[in-house]
Structure 1
Amino acid sequence: MKKIVALAILVLALACSKENTKKGNLHLVGNIDGLKQGKIYIQQLKDTSLINLDTIQFEGKSSFDTYLQLEEPQMLYIFLDRGQTKSIDNTLQFFAEPGVMKFETTLKEFYASARFTGSKNQKVYEEYQKIKNNIANDKIELVAKELKNLKTNNTSISEKIKADKDKLTIRKYLYTANFAVVNGKSEVAPYLALSEIPDANLKLLDTIQKSMSPQVAKSLYGKRLTQWIKERREIEK
């Protein structure tokens, strides 16, 4: 009888151990309304390649629940394999962090309807995206003017468009730098410096680096930014 009890305890312990291996410090709960068949891949950027952290198969149910292990806040990607179409809006990125996050969207508007909650860094990143989208819209208008001017090839208009493009680029760099400085306590700050304005003036990047909190400075993107500035200095000597 004692052997049976001991065996039962061992089996239970092994089962618990096996279950724990599936756990992680990020609990991601999601729903893709309208999706009945297909897969999503949750991916992480390693060096220059995306690697799969998890693969979730959908078979009649649009919701999912998974756990991921993150050492620290970072950008992750969700790729949707529709299995039938080759839509261009199949990839989403989100700023993940340990804790509970919720993801909701629709199959029809996978990219446009996407909503992530539960991450402070994601909230900061979305604030930046709003202004970035406004700048992108202004750029589209300038491109439209440029195409229209091809018919007449008016030199003065071409020069005006070029000047406006330069101003728009400066506006983006200054806004991004200012946003990163104001949000120095968020891992989003060094991420934006690296992903949006890596070729900015070193003084601008230095300002972002100095504004980072000690915790952010020790983070994945904080250390990368410090290293990037060091490399830039060596190149530009």
Structure 2
Amino acid sequence: MKKLLLPLFIVMLLVNCSETTGESMTVSGNVKGLKKGVLYLQKVADSTLITLDSLEINGDGNFSFETALESPEIFYLYLNKEDKNDVNDRITFFGEPGIITINSIWNAFDTKAVIEGSETHKKLEEYRKVMTRFNTQNLELISAANNPETQEDMEVMDSLRKANDKNILRSYLYSLNFALNNKNSHIAPYIALTEVSDANIIYLDSIYNSLSPEVANAKYGRALESYLEGIRSNQ
């Protein structure tokens, strides 16, 4: 269900539905313990990760960026620690107009990040917390199925397969319900596009039709509308 990379046409929809409206976002904070490195504020445009701004850190972990944006959307804060280790170096956050504060530590940059100032990001964290449980259970089931002793028992293997299918279905339904239950948040069309874009158009339609006017007219709302129009035109 979950995609590591968005289908190209969805990415293009997100890009084409973005317009500048004069609003801005300030992202500031501190990376505790960071003495040397470069911070980058990034987002995806034309299916490519682009850098909006950068800041060289030399002895002080404080940072601040400002960028224009239309409405809440996904941004990335990337840290190049110059340690030849790319693990834990990128924070994903839902930016929105106003002031966003991100505080973290240099050696656990993404896992210890505390993000404040974005109501949409709070919704993203709420969603991720539950999805992490589904993903953990999926990994446990896969690990059990890969056990040589387990593979010799067809009854156990069948039970594990059914449990995994049930877990995937539950996570899928959770994503759909989360989007439907958050019609006033920009997280709803974002989840529809990035997590359940292959769902039956009836469910995607339900999500879109439930959106508040503000969300429907914003970046991800318009992208979802265009995505649905594309599906209908190919039916």
What is the CA distance between 1:106 and its match in structure 2? 0.4
- Taking the aligned partners of 2:60 and 2:34, their CA distance within structure 1 comes to 7
Q: How do 1:193-232 and structure 2 match up within 5 A?
A: 193-232=192-231
Per chain length, whose mean CA-contact separation is higher, i.e. which structure has more relative contact order (CA < 8 Å, sep 6+)? 2
Aligned to 2:180: 181
Q: How do 1:1-237 and structure 2 match up within 5 A?
A: 25-149=24-148, 152-235=151-234, 237=235
TM-score normalised according to structure 2 size: 0.86
Cα deviation, 1:32-80, whole Å, max 9, x if unaligned, reads 1111100011111112101111111101101112211112110001111
Contact kept? 1:27, 1:68, Cα under 8 Å: yes
- Taking the aligned partners of 2:141 and 2:210, their CA distance within structure 1 comes to 34
- Over aligned residue pairs, what C-alpha RMSD do you find? 1.6
Partner SS state of residue 137, structure 1: helix
What is the CA distance between 1:24 and its match in structure 2? 6.8
* Aligned-partner residue type, residue 230 of structure 1: E
What is the CA distance between 1:85 and its match in structure 2? 2.5
| Number of aligned residues | 214
Cα gap change, 1:151 to 1:158, in 2 (>3 Å): closer
Cα gap change, 1:149 to 1:194, in 2 (>3 Å): farther
Note the residue ranges of structure 1 that are not aligned, 5 or more in a row: 1-22
- Taking the aligned partners of 1:63 and 1:226, their CA distance within structure 2 comes to 40
Cα deviation, 1:117-138, whole Å, max 9, x if unaligned, reads 0011011111111101111111
What is the CA distance between 1:109 and its match in structure 2? 0.9
- Taking the aligned partners of 1:220 and 1:57, their CA distance within structure 2 comes to 31
TM-score normalised according to structure 1 size: 0.86
- Taking the aligned partners of 1:203 and 1:168, their CA distance within structure 2 comes to 22
Share of identical aligned residues, percent?
Answer: 32
Contact kept? 1:149, 1:157, Cα under 8 Å: no
Is the radius of gyration larger for structure 1 or structure 2?
A: 1
Deviation larger for 69-78 or 225-234: 225-234
Note the residue ranges of structure 2 that are not aligned, 5 or more in a row: 1-21
Contact kept? 1:94, 1:122, Cα under 8 Å: yes
Partner SS state of residue 88, structure 1: coil
* Aligned-partner residue type, residue 39 of structure 1: V
- Taking the aligned partners of 1:27 and 1:111, their CA distance within structure 2 comes to 19
Partner SS state of residue 108, structure 2: coil
Aligned to 2:14: none
What is the CA distance between 1:153 and its match in structure 2? 2.7
What is the CA distance between 1:151 and its match in structure 2? 5.8
